[in-house]
Amino acid sequence: MIKVVVVGGGWAGCAAALAASKAGAQVVLLERTDLLLGTGLVGGIFRNNGRFTAAEEAIAMGGGDLFVAMDANTRHRGIDFPGHSHASFYDVTTMEPLVKRILQNYGIDIKTCTRVSGVVKHGKKIQYLTDDNEQIINGDAFVDTTGTTGPMGNCLKYGNGCAMCILRCPTFGPRVSLTAKAEIKEIMGKKADGSYGAMSGSCKINKDSLSFELKAQLEKEGMVVIPLPENLKKTGMLGKKACSQYAIADYAENIVLIDTGHAKLMTPFFPLDMLRTIPGLERARYEDPYSGGVGNSIRYLGIAPCDSSLKVEGIDNLFCAGEKSGILVGHTEAVVTGLLAGNNAVRCCLDMQYLGLPPELASGDFIRFIHEQMTTEEGIRLRYTFSGSIYFERMKSLGLYSAERRDIMERINKAGLTDIYNTCLV
């Protein structure tokens, strides 16, 4: 039986494992921590703006399991907040067990607390991996979804030090890039000023540390906007954010809180003593990162060179997804790329033509556009997402954005891709 090994258990890795299993492979999913979902453990926002289109494309192609799970675990839906329409917020505190159960139901072998330490190649093919316990993990094809955040040294060099984020490098060891271990030179993303990396774009506050009134309003309405006094407006912080879709004046001039189970604060960090001067936040305490008053994690310092099939250049049986595959932002983006990488990993083993998503689909145009832009000095300084910034504007200009399910399903059907991810290839 064909065996696909996925390294990294975030949203992209979960989607890749799911797609490979549906295509007929035996799948092993390796995650270095004790939980799946990675930054999805503290994320929670989906279906906002063009992410609605991308999610419905994936559902129409037969890869909707994870989006259905998000929908089933939604705290609020149809929410408009600054710069975003018809958003849904899943509950980050209960999402992971639900996803794990879905993957197990597909027979995926999930190995947590498993950190890859070595890659053994023969020519341009990976033969097997080794972990920290010197165990050998064999596979026919491999998918790198290890992300671009960490290790701690990057947060120290390019940020404000380790902020003790959800990735928990001090406990489980630093992130290990499968691509780098395979001796492929990675790409480093830049900020607008030309320096490397970008800081994660939000923090989480314990909702019980809010005032009773503010907590009640947040849970009822799904989001709260609190104007900042002039002395606390932090306009210079927007250029540091990984999430460029939130780099607009509303987020510099206001505190924006979103209910994802925690109170999601839409800024990379905010000094705690200043935060506690704001009415309703006098007792505020950070849930993620624990040092959210000082800094946040640094991302985009280890991107794999790949093509639009998401095959990594220089290795014949290695694919990538999520942030590993480009300067992209978001859970939806991770799932969309993960589904494609997982399916193509199986096709690789069968010597089949790789699945390509056509430019008539938002997902296909998104992947191609990112890779084109990353070859330019200006493009490598931007971040790309279906939900805002440069790519959402492109979606609208090309007529790729739609919030109508029927239109999206017809588009997928016209491309001949209906239920493609539900097709067993083996």
Tens digit of each residue's pLDDT (9 = 90 or more) over 162-204: 999 999 999 999 999 999 999 999 999 998 888 999 999 899 9
> Average of pLDDT values for 222-245?
72
244 pLDDT above the threshold of 60 = no
Phi, psi for residue 419 in degrees, rounded to 5: 60, 20
Which pLDDT score, from 0 to 100, does residue 192 have?
84
Q: What is the pLDDT of residues 88-131, one digit of tens each?
A: 999 999 999 999 999 999 999 999 999 999 999 999 999 999 99
pLDDT band at 246 (very low <50, low <70, confident <90, very high): low
263 pLDDT above the threshold of 90 = yes
Q: How many CB atoms lie within 10 A of CB 368?
A: 16
Which pLDDT score, from 0 to 100, does residue 232 have?
83
Q: What is the pLDDT of residues 61-84, one digit of tens each?
A: 999 999 999 999 999 999 999 999
Which pLDDT score, from 0 to 100, does residue 242 have?
52
pLDDT band at 269 (very low <50, low <70, confident <90, very high): very high
The pLDDT > 90 percentage for the chain reads 92
239 pLDDT above the threshold of 70 = no
pLDDT band at 389 (very low <50, low <70, confident <90, very high): confident
58 pLDDT above the threshold of 50 = yes
Residue labelled with tokens 């404000």: 160
Q: What is the pLDDT of residues 11-50, one digit of tens each?
A: 999 999 999 999 999 999 999 999 999 999 999 999 999 9
pLDDT averaged over the chain?
A: 95
DSSP annotation string for 88-137: EEE-TTTHHHHHHHHHHHTT-EEE-S--EEEEEEETTEEEEEEETT--EE
pLDDT band at 236 (very low <50, low <70, confident <90, very high): low
Q: Rounded CA gap, 224 and 79, in Å?
A: 11
Residues paired with 259 in a beta bridge: 263
Q: Which two tokens stand for residue 345?
A: 């990993």
Model pTM score: 0.96
Classify the C-alpha dihedral 90-91-95-96 as positive or negative. positive
Q: Rounded CA gap, 145 and 138, in Å?
A: 17
CA angle 210, 215, 221 (to 5 degrees): 145
C-alpha separations of 170 from 134, 285, 369 in Å = 21, 21, 36
Which amino acid type is present at position 133? Answer: N
pLDDT band at 233 (very low <50, low <70, confident <90, very high): confident
More confident residue, 321 or 239: 321
Ordered structural domains, the chain, with CATH: 3-191+299-415 (3.50.50.60), 198-288 (no CATH)
Which pLDDT score, from 0 to 100, does residue 251 have?
83
Burial class (CB in 10 A: 0-12, 13-18, 19+), 426: exposed
85 pLDDT above the threshold of 80 = yes
DSSP E strand boundaries for 31-81 = 45-46, 74-81
Which pLDDT score, from 0 to 100, does residue 238 have?
47
